[in-house]
Structure 1
Amino acid sequence: MAGAELKVRRAVTDRTADYLLTQWGKWVWQNTGVPRYVSPLLALMRDNVPSTHGAAAAITDDEAEAVSAAVARLKSGREDVSDAIHLYYCYSLTQPQVAERMQIQRMKVRELLIMGEWYVQAWLDKRAAA
C-alpha cells in the first residue's frame, strides 16, 4: 500500500462520520455550475465579484469519494437512510423538513440519520483496516 493512500485512510478514520458527512454535503455542491472552459474575461469578472457560496468544504477529494462510496452502497440496501442522509447533509434541511419531505415522523428521521452515520463510520473503518 502506498504511503499517501495509507495517510488518507488514517486521516479519514480520525474524523467522525458526522463531521465527514457535513463536509461531504458541502463538497457535493462545490464548483457546481462552473463551465469547463472559462474565458479570461469571465475569470476576471468572477474573481472580482464577492462569492455567494458558503465556505469551501474542509475535506479532501479522496475523503469525499470514500464517503460517497459509503452512501452509494447504503442506497442499495436502505434507500430511506440514504435519502435522509442526502436531504439532511447535502441540501441542509432540518430534521422536521426532512420528515415532511419523506412523509415520516421527525424521530424516525433522527433514527435514520443515526443509522446512516454509523454505517458510514463502519464503512470507513472497514476501508481503513483493509
Structure 2
Amino acid sequence: MKDLGTEYLLQEWGVWLRCQTGVPRYVSPSYALMRDKLGIHGGETPQIQDETAMLIDRLVCRMALRYEEAAYSLFLWYRHSMTSYRQLGRAMDVHHTKAEVCHRAGIAWIDAMLSSYAEAA
C-alpha cells in the first residue's frame, strides 16, 4: 500500500504540475493518433487524481496569501524537483537555512490543513 502522507501528495502534486494534467489544452490530432495507436507516452505520470491535486494546489495558493515564502518554497521544490536546500535557497534568493525553514513550515501547514479536511469528512 502506498504512503498517502503529505510529502507523497506534494511530490505527486509536483508531477501533476510538471505534466500540466487537468489543464485543458490543444492536442494535435496526429499526436493523439500516434499516442493511442503506438502507445507513445512521455515522461512522468502523476499517481494522484485531479481532484486531490487541485485540493493541494488550492491549499498552496491559500498559504501564499499568508505565508508567501513557504508557498513559494513548496512550489519551487516540487515543481522543479529540487534536491537540496542550497539549490532552493539560491532559487528563492535567501540563505539555505531560511529556505529549509520555509519548506518545512509549508509542509507542516499543508499537513495541518489536510488533517482538518480529513476530520471534517
Please report the TM-score for the alignment, with normalisation by the length of structure 1: 0.76
Give structure 2 stretches of 5+ with no counterpart.
none
Instruction: Output the amino acid matched with 1:71.
Output: V
- Determine the structure 2 residue equivalent to 1:78: 67
1:126 aligns with 2:120: no
Deviation sequence 1:25-46 (CA, Å, 0-9, x none):
001122469843542x332334
Q: Report how many aligned residue pairs link the two structures.
A: 115
- Determine the structure 1 residue equivalent to 2:16: 27
Instruction: Output the amino acid matched with 1:88.
Output: W
Distance 2:20 2:69 in 1: 27
Deviation sequence 1:37-85 (CA, Å, 0-9, x none):
542x33233453754412x111111211111111011000011111100
| Identity rate, percent | 27
Conserved 8 A contact 1:66-1:124: no
Give structure 1 stretches of 5+ with no counterpart.
1-13
Q: How much is the aligned-residue C-alpha RMSD, in angstroms?
A: 2.3
Instruction: Output the amino acid matched with 2:100.
Output: R
Write out aligned runs for 1:89-108 (5 A): 89-94=78-83, 95-108=85-98
- Determine the structure 1 residue equivalent to 2:103: 113
SS of 2:16 mapped into structure 1: helix
Distance 1:83 1:30 in 2: 19
Please report the TM-score for the alignment, with normalisation by the length of structure 2: 0.81
Identify which of structures 1 and 2 has the higher relative contact order when contacts are C-alpha pairs closer than 8 Å and 6+ apart. Answer: 1
Distance 2:7 2:25 in 1: 31
SS of 1:92 mapped into structure 2: coil
